Amino acid sequence: MAKVSMTVNGAAASGEVEGRTLLVEFLRGPLGLTGTHVGCDTSQCGACVVHVNGEAVKACTMFAAEADGAEVRTIEGMANADGSLGVIQQAFQDHHGLQCGFCTPGMVMSAAALLKDNPKPTEAEVRKYLEGNICRCTGYHNIVKAIMAASGQDVSAIAAE
């Protein structure tokens, strides 16, 4: 066992982990941050995407020990300070960007990473960026629409499906 310390959603967090403890296990277990989901555990689905030092990574494909000293942000850190939904989260609600919601934490974290680098993406850029985020429910259309809306673009011409 080794001690790890990191900043998670702005607050200091630490604990004892094994070498093989995944970042997602550390977040969901000892830290109780169960918003980050494990969809596949085989690095394919993106439900577990969080930000480590500002970059989107799959928390099921990184060890907790590798995040020692890092800034980590999870879906729990995406709401506004007063607890209301953040811009991207609100857009997902407004545009029906989720059904069961299982993929949504990863979708929102990927969307936030995209918009940080590319504040006004085209529809094609959004679709390409979401290559590693799999949704079994929505057919993606409203997810793309929500992200376009969250970027402040007019989505009235994108028909609902």
Partner 1 sequence: MYAFEIERPSTLAEAVSALSAEGAQALGGGQTLIPTLKQRLAAPEVLVSLSGISEMKGVCPDDDGRLCIGGATTHAAVARDAAAAYPALAALASHIGDPAVRNRGTIGGSLANNDPAACYPAAALASNATIVTQNRAIDADDYFQGLFTTALEEGEIITEVKFAIPEAANYQKFLQPASRFALVGVFVAKYADGVRVAVTGASEDGVFRWSEAEAALSSDFSAGALDGLSVPAEGMIGDLHGTPEYRAHLVKVMTKRAVAAAG
Residue 6 contacts residue 74 (beta carbons within 8 Å): no
* Residue 24-43 contact track with ligand FES, rule CB under 6 A, x = bound: --------------xxxx-x
For ligand FAD, which is the closer residue by CB, 34 or 44?
44
Q: Does 60 bind ligand FES (CB under 6 A)?
A: yes
Output 102 or 129, the one with its CB closest to partner 1. Answer: 129
Per CB under 6 A, the list member of 44, 53, 93, 118 interacting with ligand FAD is: 44
Specify whether the CB–CB gap between 10 and 77 falls below 8 A.
yes
For 124-160, the DSSP string reads HHHHHHGGG---SSS-SHHHHHHHHHHTT---TTS--
Instruction: Tell me: does residue 101 bind ligand FES (CB under 6 A).
Output: yes
Q: What residues make contact with ligand FAD under the rule CB under 6 A? A: 43-44
